[in-house]
Structure 1
Amino acid sequence: MPTDADLVILGGGCAGLGLAFNLSPYGARAPRTLILEQRDAYRNDRTWCFWGDDATPFSQLAGRQWRHLRIAGDGRRIDFDCGNTPYRMLAADAYYAHTLQAISANPQLSLCLGHSVLSEPEYVGGVWRIETNQGSISAGSLVDTRPVQTPVTDKPLLWQSFCGHEIETAEAVFDPSIADLMDFSEVCESSIVFIYVLPVSETRALVEYTVFAASPLHARDLQQGLHAAIEQRTRGSTYTTLRSEYGCIPMGGDAVQSALTDSPRSQVRVGLSAGAARPATGYAFQRLQRWGAKCAQAMVMNGAPVPQSPDRLMTRTMDRLFLQVLRAQPALAPALFTAMFAGVDSRRLIRFLSDTGSLRDHAAVITALPAGPFLRHLFAGRAPA
């Protein structure tokens, strides 16, 4: 049966554009692809960060990078040297422009802005049918990158909620040579709170207020903490808010689904609600780019998309235990994170956090962390009721 496309990608965000970008070099071998995006235009609405050398995908598009990061908490201030894999900040507008240019160069790929999906896609007679505000669309394969509309709030071990403003100050108040990765200056008994500051210049920075908690928080719940963090960092200098960011990421648990197990092989779900982010950190950008390259190759070679590969068993086990301890004892977070960044060689820790760590890298992280909290949690879980 003729279809409108070989592949429909629902959502033209980081994951959807990343997959289409990876399809673009295949030329005429690429499947006929439609990317359905509900927004009418792209704007600089978010920031992605990652560690990487010059060969890491999209590193050259990063607008700023830092070789030194600071972690403050538990009475310590750690200066973390990133060496040859600096911490890079990629603005959304640079990513959008780069991927859209590549997509437009391949006539097999079409971006459809202003297309809202009206109902869940249906699989009938080996064909996907998608009802949109612009009409019905049919395709042989479907990749759904949209966020889950009604997330199961009681399943993730923790939720990472964050809100940030990129600001411009009237006076020089920032040190652009070092970024604050985690500043645990605010004490909270029931959740984990830290400040994240990426200084672009002496007068410009992205300041974010982040909370790890058992339930997701709305942007309005974070505004007071964000305002206090900005006031502390600007030290009374007047400032202008250039743009804002908000996000809520599930960290571990059953709500993170790596694939739709009850769906045909021709459909996969990808995104933050489908395991895109590393459970213990929330980093997702490079994970999505690796998936995009793998999925594009599978579409060209076999005509079917593939889901994101699950993390290795050791990584899943370590992340789950780490999150369980953080959820049970949030006050330990500053001590655990500072111990990790102070006690592990930067090259090993960056590989571990970037999902490329070896067994020795995992072992180094385990050795650096205090064993007591993890052993007590394990034995408590095995105790009879």
Structure 2
Amino acid sequence: MIIHAHYDYIISGSGCAGLSLLMRMMEHSFFDDKKILVIDKAEKNSNDRTWCFWEKGDGLFEPLVHHYWNEVNFYADHYSNLLSLKPYRYKMIRGIDFYRYVQEQAKQKSNIHFLYEPVTATGTKDDMAYLQTATGFYTADYVFNSILFVQPVISSGEYMLLQHFKGWLIETENPVFDPSQATFMDFRVAQDAGTTFMYVLPVSSTSALVEYTLFTEQLLPAEKYIAELQSYLKKFLGIERYNIIHEEFGIIPMTNHRFPGAEGRVIHMGIAGGQAKGSSGYAFQFIQKKTTSIVEHLVKGRFPLQHEGWVARKFRLYDSVLLNVLHHRKLNGDAIFAAIFQRNSPERVLRFLDNESSLWDDLQIMNSVPTRIFLKAAMQELFR
């Protein structure tokens, strides 16, 4: 027997995007009398990932910040420095803390319901959004979907790099870390496969998340990630004895592919909505902007999708240019990021990576990298 039920809003996927939207809905009284269904194949109850992002002041999820850093190290053969991020702070939120926090808040709301079953389809019919599972057919004014049902087909003129990473949370017997400083990017590792760097995120003097990250088209054999982490710990941090407390592995698309913002009354979010920045893979803060906009539009009775303006198109072009350079190996990524951080303040670089920089900021960033290489790539992308 197929269950039929109607809700005001359905959130399809209970990861970062889905639960961020739910949290913002719970913060606004407009949604107190709205029936909301959150559906995913399984409850999020494990520490499957760690989100790191920079932010000014306190954000909505400030109670969940596991650790933060005001200073970060940048290392490359071309340039190294300890960078002050003020007025930003680099923050870490653990997946398990995020999931539990939002789920506990939702349990206090009688209008919010969770269902754990694989979603088989979403769509729009008779001016109503719908979602299907094996046992149910659910309708709503809108479905907010963050499930990527199929991988995007990359067409001519589009690029697809993968940001893939393996991280170890390690503990050492003796104090070896400075928890007031993170390593934001360490490019001193081999660059043979493509843009490759390490993160080191200390949360105490004896504990840190160490992450091996690459921007490439292909994944590596599983043993390669392990070997590189072991080598880095020994060679650059002088650590040979440690316990691995937690492991994580992730893949984020870095692409200029145009993900659909909406299909009828199905609004896409997260990776499925193109919230991962094409040139960096950062997604957490872009998801927060997207979900904030959705809530603002719903409260005002508007269609919950903001049209792409010239600023968004400008940054989409910038992303395409960098992807062009990296894809065709016109310049190594370590040289690009070293030049940008060497010739600009961290605040300007972070504004640029957040898609919040001014035209003057943009010009200064552009002036940091080899004009001949990037101008040619820009012309190719403009006239493609």
Shorter-normalised TM range: 0.7 to 0.9
Residue 87 (structure 1) aligned with residue 86 (structure 2): no
How many percent of aligned residue pairs carry the same amino acid?
Answer: 27
Runs of 5+ in structure 2 lacking a partner?
Answer: none
RMSD: 2.8
C-alpha deviation, 1:120, in angstroms: 1.6
Alignment partner, residue 163 of structure 2: 160
Give the direction of change, closer, same or farther, for the CA distance of 1:65–1:251 in structure 2 (3 Å limit): same
Alignment partner, residue 365 of structure 2: 365
User: Aligned letter for 2:139?
Assistant: S
Give the direction of change, closer, same or farther, for the CA distance of 1:382–1:24 in structure 2 (3 Å limit): closer
Aligned to 2:72, the other structure's residue is in SS state strand
CA contact (8 A) 1:52 1:86 kept: yes
- What is the CA–CA distance in structure 1 between the aligned matches of 2:13 and 2:293, rounded to whole Å? 18
Aligned to 2:88, the other structure's residue is in SS state coil
Alignment partner, residue 43 of structure 2: 40
Give the direction of change, closer, same or farther, for the CA distance of 1:109–1:282 in structure 2 (3 Å limit): same
Alignment partner, residue 28 of structure 2: 26
Aligned to 2:121, the other structure's residue is in SS state coil
C-alpha deviation, 1:295, in angstroms: 0.8
Alignment partner, residue 338 of structure 2: 338
C-alpha deviation, 1:22, in angstroms: 0.9
Alignment partner, residue 268 of structure 2: 269
Alignment partner, residue 126 of structure 2: 125
CA contact (8 A) 1:52 1:59 kept: no
- What is the CA–CA distance in structure 2 between the aligned matches of 1:56 and 1:381, rounded to whole Å? 35
1:167-206 to 2 correspondence within 5 Å? 167-206=170-209
Q: How many residues get paired?
A: 376
Equivalent of residue 252 in structure 2, options 246, 249, 254: 249
C-alpha deviation, 1:276, in angstroms: 0.7
C-alpha deviation, 1:247, in angstroms: 1.5
C-alpha deviation, 1:328, in angstroms: 1.8
Aligned to 1:42, the other structure's residue is in SS state coil
User: Which deviations, in whole Å up to 9, do the C-alpha atoms of 1:157-176 show, x marking residues without a partner?
Assistant: 42211111111122222222
Q: Which stretches of structure 1, 4 residues or longer, exceed 6 Å deviation after superposition?
A: 379-383
Aligned to 1:65, the other structure's residue is in SS state strand
Runs of 5+ in structure 1 lacking a partner?
Answer: none
Q: Which moved more, 1:146-155 or 1:90-99?
A: 146-155
Equivalent of residue 97 in structure 1, options 96, 100, 103: 100
Equivalent of residue 73 in structure 1, options 76, 83, 87: 76
- What is the CA–CA distance in structure 2 between the aligned matches of 1:380 and 1:136, rounded to whole Å? 46
- What is the CA–CA distance in structure 2 between the aligned matches of 1:382 and 1:272, rounded to whole Å? 25
CA contact (8 A) 2:166 2:248 kept: yes
Give the direction of change, closer, same or farther, for the CA distance of 1:60–1:52 in structure 2 (3 Å limit): farther
Alignment partner, residue 348 of structure 2: 348
Residue 52 (structure 1) aligned with residue 55 (structure 2): yes
- What is the CA–CA distance in structure 2 between the aligned matches of 1:251 and 1:306, rounded to whole Å? 22
User: Aligned letter for 1:127?
Assistant: M
User: Aligned letter for 1:9?
Assistant: I
- What is the CA–CA distance in structure 2 between the aligned matches of 1:95 and 1:269, rounded to whole Å? 21
C-alpha deviation, 1:151, in angstroms: 4.1
CA contact (8 A) 2:68 2:91 kept: yes
C-alpha deviation, 1:308, in angstroms: 8.4
Alignment partner, residue 239 of structure 1: 242
User: Aligned letter for 1:125?
Assistant: D
C-alpha deviation, 1:307, in angstroms: 6.2
Aligned to 1:198, the other structure's residue is in SS state strand
- What is the CA–CA distance in structure 2 between the aligned matches of 1:207 and 1:135, rounded to whole Å? 43
Give TM-score, length-normalised by structure 2. 0.87
CA contact (8 A) 2:79 2:342 kept: no
User: Which deviations, in whole Å up to 9, do the C-alpha atoms of 1:183-240 show, x marking residues without a partner?
Assistant: 1122233411111111111211111111111235575663333333344455343222
